[in-house]
Amino acid sequence: MNKSSVAIGVIGAGIMGERMLHAIQAQDRDHLHACGLWDPSAPAMRRMAATFPAVPQLPDAAAVIAASDCVYIASPPASHLDHARAALVAGKAIFCEKPLAIDVDAARAFVAQAGGRGAVNFPFASSLAVAAIMDWVGKGEIGTPRRIAIEVAFAAWPRSWQMDAVGWLDRPMQGGFTREVVSHFLFLSRRLGGKLHGLKGRAAFPEAGKSERGISATLQAGMLPVALSGAVGKTAKDDHNIWMLEGDRGAVRLCDWSIPEWRPAGGTWQRMPDAMPNEQARPLALKRQLLGVAKLARGEPHHLATLEEALNVQEIVEGILAGAPKDA
């Protein structure tokens, strides 16, 4: 193996850890490789050993950090900062699942300390569909951007494929669809429009001890007004989402994670001819994310979501869940 190959250690053997390991193993080992995996769950480690027999299973998080050039943190959110701090002290780069922390003040303190040695896994940073939308906007296809609208809905929460994580994913402290799903579309709004601010929002928690079942909010991305709505039980689909940017001469939108569409003024929606469903688009985005991770680990400029961007998204998400109108 080439000595310049970036060693990526994985903390967390859930859905995201498994997806990332599949993506890492699909890459050229001379550029990057998986150097180790740890999860506190013995059954999870046994399952991953069967799927990834060539990935070393290490005794604890400290061993993963020691073996890594970049540490991918895919554990439940309450543990993110402990692992990220330890990696930072060890001089390693950090690639973390969102949110950075379950406490916004703690996340702010970490971001102030971390500098540029970290990034957060918002795959829209590497999405080919998002790149197409930004190309349309850059070419003036919709004229001057005027407003953003975000709509998400779920038949049930957690979604059917997430039931193994229901212990934290449907709890108000760490879980809920606003943190898990809406954050991605807030990141997209921030990257296209600018810093998120001016939040007025609220969330509904009708079931004691469970995560939110509905949200509504208005805010701004830079100078662009953003309207957001989300609900559980309002669709038969596992996962429905639309992110739309309207301009004075048309509009663009991203449907169901990966389908870009364009509408001229007074016209009808037109789908990009080579649009792919998310199951096909996700591996391509993850491949591009990993190219960014390699650059991050080497201290080079990259396109990944910065810690500052992720913190701004988290501030808005937690503001919505707290239901307190404020200028975030």
What's residue 166's pLDDT? 80
145-154 and 224-232: which strand pairing? parallel
Q: What is the pLDDT of residue 165?
A: 77
Q: What's domain 125-277+310-322's superfamily in CATH? A: Dihydrodipicolinate Reductase; domain 2 (3.30.360.10)
State mean pLDDT over 40-48: 96
Alpha-carbon span 160 to 237, nearest angstrom: 11
pLDDT tens-digit series, residues 177-209: 999 999 999 999 999 999 999 999 999 999 999
327 — pLDDT class (breaks 50, 70, 90): very low
pTM attached to this predicted model:
0.94
Residue 328 has pLDDT above 70, yes or no: no
Spans of all domains in the chain:
6-122+287-305, 125-277+310-322
**What is the torsion angle, in degrees rounded to the nearest 10, for the CA atoms of residue 181, residue 126, residue 104 and residue 228?**
-40
What residue spans of the chain are helical by DSSP H? Answer: 15-25, 42-51, 61-67, 80-89, 104-114, 128-138, 166-169, 177, 183-193, 278-297, 307-322
Q: What confidence tens digit (pLDDT) does each residue in 86-96 have?
A: 999 999 999 99
pLDDT given at position 324: 44
Q: How far apart are CA 124 and CA 131, in angstroms?
A: 9
Measured CA to CA, the distance from residue 279 to residue 164 in angstroms comes to 20
Q: Where are the beta strands (DSSP E) in 182-233?
A: 196-204, 214-221, 224-232
Residue 269 pLDDT: 97
Angstrom CA distances, 7 to 1, 13, 29, 37, stand at 11, 17, 10, 12
Average pLDDT over residues 160-178: 86
Q: Render pLDDT for 221-262 as a digit per residue (tens, 0 to 9).
A: 999 999 999 999 999 998 999 999 999 999 999 999 999 999
Is residue 141 pLDDT above 60, yes or no?
yes
Considering the domain 6-122+287-305, what is its CATH architecture?
Answer: 3-Layer(aba) Sandwich (3.40)
Position 167 pLDDT exceeds 90:
no
Question: pLDDT at residue 133 above 70?
Answer: yes
Instruction: State the pLDDT at residue 3.
Output: 57
